[in-house]
Structure 1
């Protein structure tokens, strides 16, 4: 279900906004508009939809507009044009009192540099938002203790935040964001100030927390590895424009342009690309009760293969038959293929990564069947495709290498 929607949102800084917007509509880029008007286009024509319960990552290099766009979501910055919807309610022109209510109940923000009060205790910092809302002390501290425990800081509640490490301070910031039990958590470069090891740990802990909380999280980062690790979906920005939105796998396997291609070229594809992306869907099959040896040989001849997956009529996967075995049955005058099905075949699911498929290549030279939970055949992944995705080599190159190896 949709939680947040942005429609044609643009944000321009400067005095000549009308002129800048007109130039933007006429296709002028950010640099041309700055030169002509002195105005900076921070965000241009942003359109996106964020689903309830997903971690949606907005990423890009410095100056891409990602943090600015985030601040439009809670109207810390007001967009120049466009609309923002939370729970299908437009907040773009909402009055201050209504907006304050949305911020208190729906949205919370976690900042890059924590934004904590160093002279106060952990408990006092976490309860600070509710203190501003005049929530009674006992009630707000009880709520704060719940979130302190949730983020793994139980026992530290009476320590001043200035006495804590960077990673622990970030936990305090996260706990404060969660204390009001918001539906949406906005995280602006929340882990960027941390050392690499602590940063990785915080990413892991956020994912564990998300399993429990099921919050809608909008996460800003300039780090592609972080975006891939955390994001259910990713939006990549450049010069204020959203260039591509998709899962990490969609972006890596089908980059929208050369900019995205260069952005993702050094990513370890084997950890991201799955069988569902590279499988050959609906391959030719032999049907157990319908296709006898003669029929199977005809299918093999038409498809140019020496092995076929065998399924029942409901596409339940049973195993493979090989050409030499089928020929033997035909010469014997057999009418069915029951006795030659090789059942000792390892299958995978559509979400199996290349990394997890590679070990299977040492155990089989057959295409690897991809099945669903009911063991219905969805497709097959060829060894050539697995090697191509993991090495970046062209399939023709791999085929030539295999042929030479066979000849030797």
Structure 2
């Protein structure tokens, strides 16, 4: 399912009909996909594997865009295609108006070094370098002077909460602390686009939750454009502004967490949402009614349109029937009716 909700004019990264084939016959199938002559029956009988199938996405400036799916769904291959760490077989990938598939290898190295940050599951810290050395390393590769790169690295170390540990080696840190070093290192180059491929999946549940909280705090400060990969639906709906759900290399639905939970497009998506507590996911903005001429006497209180239904429900008290809802700019966005909240919670 193509992403039709994000106008390309407002997008930081655009994928248009991206395919990736592996195995025998991959080149022929890639050419056919590029020319628009690829037939469905060719895929059914092909010896090549279509790891990414005709993916079109627009990722907006400043949003956290989550790509999720089970193991083998193609999500990690897709994110590597976006940075050309894996070469797409067909399609277009446009970053800040530049078609990356037309860029030379030298240009791609420059883009990755100066405009893209990447964090992966396995930390990939250099064991012989301290925390400071690891975080400063990308700047050293860029040729930044020692005093300047170390000053920038110290800022990032403080940002991720590791001040005082800058002279520790990776072996002296916990798993969560090592991942913080990886995050600080990826941010040192001040990337325009930040890729995170299952960065917390190797961590224990409590540390993972802590790192999610830290990630949300960082994003509230930095407001980066983020592509976040996960197989964990709870993590996806907690962190994502929008979510793309993948299956067998194809994107089957794109939407906000509210839309994915309330209106799953396929049975596959429904399986992910089946055990989700709706009230903890759905935002107040999803159930808004027009404010009309509501007077202060008619409302039990006020709530932000970014709050979840679970956060808003207690504000009704015993007898309140509606809440006044305000947007990020402080303006009245509408009202939240008690009956609509009750109906949604009754549905699950």
TM-score, normalization: structure 1? Answer: 0.75
CA-atom RMSD in angstroms: 2.4
Which residue does the alignment assign to 1:222?
A: 231
1:116 maps onto 2:121 in alignment: no
1:26 maps onto 2:75 in alignment: no
Q: CA deviation at 1:216?
A: 1.0
Question: CA–CA distance in 2 between the matches of 1:40 and 1:117?
Answer: 34
Which residue does the alignment assign to 2:106?
A: 97
**SS, match of residue 5 in structure 1:** strand
**SS, match of residue 102 in structure 2:** coil
Greater relative contact order: 1 or 2 (C-alpha under 8 angstroms, separation 6 or more)? 2
After superposition, where does 1:143-162 map in structure 2 within 5 Å? 143-162=152-171
Residue 187 of structure 1 contacts residue 219 of structure 1 at CA under 8 Å; is this kept in 2? yes
Question: CA–CA distance in 2 between the matches of 1:375 and 1:164?
Answer: 46
User: CA-to-partner distance for each residue in 1:190-248, whole Å, 9 max, x for gaps?
Assistant: 11111111111111111111121111111111001111111111111111001111110
| C-alpha spacing 1:228/1:38, structure 2 compared with 1 (3 Å) | same
User: CA-to-partner distance for each residue in 1:374-397, whole Å, 9 max, x for gaps?
Assistant: 8868355252x323322326xxxx
**SS, match of residue 299 in structure 2:** coil
Q: CA deviation at 1:274?
A: 3.3
1:353 maps onto 2:308 in alignment: yes
Gapped regions of structure 2 (runs ≥ 5): 1-9
Which residue does the alignment assign to 2:185?
A: 176
TM-score, normalization: structure 2? Answer: 0.88
In the alignment, which of 320, 341, 345 is matched to residue 386 of structure 1? 341
| C-alpha spacing 1:128/1:370, structure 2 compared with 1 (3 Å) | same
| C-alpha spacing 1:377/1:224, structure 2 compared with 1 (3 Å) | closer
In the alignment, which of 295, 302, 309 is matched to residue 318 of structure 1? 295
Residue 19 of structure 1 contacts residue 37 of structure 1 at CA under 8 Å; is this kept in 2? no
Residue 357 of structure 1 contacts residue 386 of structure 1 at CA under 8 Å; is this kept in 2? no
Q: CA deviation at 1:348?
A: 4.6
Residue 316 of structure 2 contacts residue 338 of structure 2 at CA under 8 Å; is this kept in 1? no
After superposition, where does 1:37-186 map in structure 2 within 5 Å? 37-186=46-195
Q: CA deviation at 1:351?
A: 4.2
User: CA-to-partner distance for each residue in 1:245-304, whole Å, 9 max, x for gaps?
Assistant: 11100111111111111211111101122343335x45xxxxxxxxxxxxxxxxxxxxxx
Question: CA–CA distance in 1 between the matches of 2:249 and 2:16?
Answer: 15
Residue 64 of structure 2 contacts residue 239 of structure 2 at CA under 8 Å; is this kept in 1? yes
**SS, match of residue 120 in structure 1:** coil
Question: CA–CA distance in 2 between the matches of 1:164 and 1:101?
Answer: 31
Question: CA–CA distance in 1 between the matches of 2:323 and 2:107?
Answer: 55
After superposition, where does 1:139-288 map in structure 2 within 5 Å? 139-279=148-288, 281-282=289-290
**SS, match of residue 25 in structure 1:** coil
Question: CA–CA distance in 2 between the matches of 1:248 and 1:140?
Answer: 38
User: CA-to-partner distance for each residue in 1:121-150, whole Å, 9 max, x for gaps?
Assistant: 111111111222232222222221111111
Gapped regions of structure 1 (runs ≥ 5): 283-310, 320-342, 394-408
| C-alpha spacing 1:357/1:150, structure 2 compared with 1 (3 Å) | closer
User: CA-to-partner distance for each residue in 1:318-355, whole Å, 9 max, x for gaps?
Assistant: 16xxxxxxxxxxxxxxxxxxxxxxx2631555444321
Q: CA deviation at 1:170?
A: 0.3
| C-alpha spacing 1:376/1:51, structure 2 compared with 1 (3 Å) | closer
| C-alpha spacing 1:15/1:273, structure 2 compared with 1 (3 Å) | same
In the alignment, which of 11, 17, 20 is matched to residue 11 of structure 1? 20
User: CA-to-partner distance for each residue in 1:358-385, whole Å, 9 max, x for gaps?
Assistant: 335652274x2554468868355252x3
- Number of equivalenced pairs: 332
**SS, match of residue 82 in structure 1:** strand
Larger Rg: 1
